[in-house]
A and B are shown apart, each in its own frame.
Chain A
Amino acid sequence: SQQGEEDPQALSIQEGENATMNCSYKTSINNLQWYRQNSGRGLVHLILIRSNEREKHSGRLRVTLDTSKKSSSLLITASRAADTASYFCAPDNYGQNFVFGPGTRLSVLP
């Protein structure tokens, strides 16, 4: 199993701005997933991108994957106060269980 490392650890933006957070990992992957955790709640799956994909969209979310750099980014466009949460990446190493990193704490200010 391997751990994804999110960057930055914390991010504050104004409502309506875009938020970008990054994830780096160490070994080859089958897919990479992004999760969100609102305060006091369990994690919620946002999006999964496979190793043969470079970009994926879901609503206001855009995920990119660069396997040569072993990195991924999550872009949230037109952020809202409800997007305030911690965001975690989870690189899947061919069925081994992923280890969650410290996450990025996003604060969207009204």
Chain B
Amino acid sequence: DAGVIQSPRHEVTEMGQEVTLRCKPISGHNSLFWYRQTMMRGLELLIYFNNNVPIDDSGMPEDRFSAKMPNASFSTLKIQPSEPRDSAVYFCASSLGQGNEQFFGPGTRLTVL
């Protein structure tokens, strides 16, 4: 298995631009998580899906952030418009059910200028 796949691995954009991060979970996993990691705030859970349905998005910073999971093998995290304070590493993780071992992707390093 290729593990959790994220793209792009690096993204540099200018303030105000739309950014879309992509994630392909491990086949068969039914829970998917989006995290953000910065030096200041550590690792934060943004949103998680169970069986493609968003369960808890209370970690999403504001309306500029949105996430979708149109099917079991694909999820996106969109930031529109992006701001410099959104610069961080964004991780996607998947698991077989909540509370079980999570498998993390390599992350997307986002820089907003």
Contacts and interface: CB of A to CB of B under 8 A. Distances in A.
Nearest to A94: B99
Contacts, number: 51
Contact of B48 (A41, A48, A97): A97
Interface string B68-104: 0000000000000000000001010100011101111
Nearest to A101: B42
Interface residues of B, number: 21
Contacts of B99: 30-31, 92-98
Closest 4 CB pairs of A and B: A42-B104, A92-B99, A100-B43, A95-B99
20 contacts: A1-B45, A41-B106, A42-B93, A42-B104, A42-B106, A42-B107, A43-B91, A43-B93, A43-B102, A44-B104, A45-B102, A45-B103, A48-B101, A94-B99, A96-B98, A97-B33, A97-B56, A97-B98, A98-B99, A100-B43
